[in-house]
Amino acid sequence: MIVGAALAYRDDVFHVAAAACALLSAVFIQIGTNFFNDYADHKKGADTDERLGPLRATQAGLVDPAAMKAAAGFAFAVAVLFGGYLMWRGGLPIVIIGVLSVTAGYLYSATRFALAYTGLADLFVLIFFGPVAVGGTYYVQALTVTPEVIVAGLAPGLLSMAILLVNNIRDVNQDRAAHKRTLVVRFGRRFGILLYVACVTLATFVPLVLHIRYSGTLAALAAMLILPLSIPLIRRLSTTLDGALLNNTLAATARLLLLYSVVFAIGWNLGA
């Protein structure tokens, strides 16, 4: 959302109401997806007492499964409510994005072919947290989209995928026991770490591609500084199996995404 709004601002098409509704709709889609994942993983037995990740409310008995499922539905409904204005303003393209986003959120954990259980989640996170989120945010403001917007969206998509990879590297043994066939389960922990390195590295070079190919600002290259900041995270990911340390790595990767987005947004709107 930050990256999409920054691109729109520099192009003099920033629209406050559209940007705000895009943010709120995206947040509630994310909440709904996490609530439903909390519910579905509990029902499928993926969350057990051996879980290494942050507390899951349903598995811990803090929230009744039916209540969690209802809360997920409510969050998706609120997302559609805010998305209604966007669909009115943006027309069919936003209707399609909205329907696909909510559907992907539901299918992330639902059905026997759930994205999280087949290894497809990484691809969908890359697409929906990257070009779709950035491009959609830009489109509802400008009512058009440009190639550089889609390219710019790859960086947050790749960093979001890196967050998911930390989660799956941490949970590889529990996921394997629950028949949750993530990419890390399918191809191994080392593959997951190498893919994490690739995601972070490729994301940091997006501003350089934008500068060379689309005359992006030099100041936006400052976002590339997240690459050296990722080195301790890569080292920790490669050397520890400790759940608490990996949870810290998960949070730190999320902070890298936020830092990248803020620095890129500021840099994109500075200088020439």
User: What are the pLDDT digits (tens) for 129-166?
Assistant: 999 999 999 999 999 999 999 999 999 999 999 999 99
| DSSP-based three-state secondary structure for 58 | coil
Cα distance between residue 110 and residue 106, in whole Å = 6
Q: With 70 as the cut, is the pLDDT of residue 50 above it?
A: no
**Domain count of the chain?**
1
Residues 162-190 have pLDDT tens digits of: 999 999 999 888 888 877 788 899 999 99
Extract the tokens encoding 96: 């399609």
Cα distance between residue 50 and residue 39, in whole Å = 17
Residue type, 113: F
Sign of CA dihedral 254, 55, 112, 187: positive
- Residue 185: what are its φ and ψ, rounded to 5°? -65, -40
Cα distance between residue 257 and residue 248, in whole Å = 14
pTM for this predicted structure: 0.85
| Eight-class DSSP state of 49 | T
Concatenate the DSSP letters of all residues of 219-244 into one string: GGGGGGGHHHHHHHHHHHHHH---HH
Residues 187-209 have pLDDT tens digits of: 999 999 999 999 999 999 999 99
Domain coverage including residue 67: 2-268
Write down the pLDDT at residue 131: 95
